[in-house]
């Protein structure tokens, strides 16, 4: 299955061009152009990795990150920043972002980070599956609790 990527940046042309490049590299890419739109998308759909611009009008990258981590804690986030906002990107890392990149970024570096982020998400999911399987073995009734 392709890695599901959501690209969030208010620079529409940047998003369009980068989306195309990531699609060529076999990623399943969706795009949105504001923090508010991103939060709605995250509620409705599952993404493996979100690439998130730090400085956007309205809801900024760190606010969006908080929403993502509340709603989809396993979704990994890579922050995109111009130099002026490196400190915001670092505070994003403290809030649980996987990594950050300076804009404009090298595409190979970006795809490497997307792949690493996806890998971490997959490992986390695997650990959760294993823990649940152990839980069901020791306490089969807990499976019913999970289905509620």
Partner 1 sequence: MNPETEKTLTFFGKMTANLTHEVKNVLAIIQESAGLMEDITAICPLTEKKYQEKFNRSMATIKQQLHRGIDLTTQFNRFAHTPDRASAELNLVDTVGQFCLLTERFARLKHIGLTAGEPPANERIRLTTNPVQFYMALFFSLESCLTALPADTEIRITPQKKGGKSPAIEYACTGDHLPPAEEFFQQLQAADAWSELREMIGQLQGEVECDTNDLRFWLIF
Q: Which residues are at the interface with partner 1 (CB under 8 A)? A: 11, 13-14, 17-18, 20-21, 24, 55, 82-84, 102-105, 107
End-to-end CA distance of the chain: 29
Closer Cβ to partner 1, 42 or 114, answer by number: 114
Closer Cβ to partner 1, 18 or 50, answer by number: 18
Burial zone of 44 (CB within 10 Å; 0-12 exposed, 13-18 middle, 19+ buried): exposed
Nearest-approach distance from CB 13 to partner 1, in angstroms:
5
Nearest-approach distance from CB 105 to partner 1, in angstroms:
8
Rg (CA), the chain: 17
3-class SS letters over 25-52: CCCEEEEECCHHHHHHHHHHCCCCEEEE
Nearest-approach distance from CB 120 to partner 1, in angstroms:
26
Closer Cβ to partner 1, 49 or 80, answer by number: 80
- Nearest to residue 54, comparing CAs of 85, 32, 75, 94? 85
Nearest-approach distance from CB 101 to partner 1, in angstroms:
11
């Amino acid at each position: 299955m392709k890695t599901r990527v959501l690209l969030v940046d208010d620079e529409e042309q940047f998003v369009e061009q980068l989306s195309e490049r990531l699609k060529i590299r076999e990623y399943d890419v969706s795009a949105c152009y504001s923090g508010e739109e991103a939060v709605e998308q995250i509620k409705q759909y599952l993404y493996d990795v979100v690439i998130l611009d730090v400085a956007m009008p309205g809801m900024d990258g760190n606010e969006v990150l908080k929403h993502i981590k509340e709603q989809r804690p396993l979704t990994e986030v890579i922050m995109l920043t111009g130099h002026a906002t490196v400190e915001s990107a670092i505070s994003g890392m403290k809030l649980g972002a996987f990594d950050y990149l300076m804009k404009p970024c090298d595409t190979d570096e970006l795809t490497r980070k997307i792949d690493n982020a996806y890998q971490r998400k997959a490992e986390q999911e695997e650990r959760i599956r294993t823990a649940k399987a152990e839980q069901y073995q020791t306490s089969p009734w807990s499976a019913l609790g999970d289905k509620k």
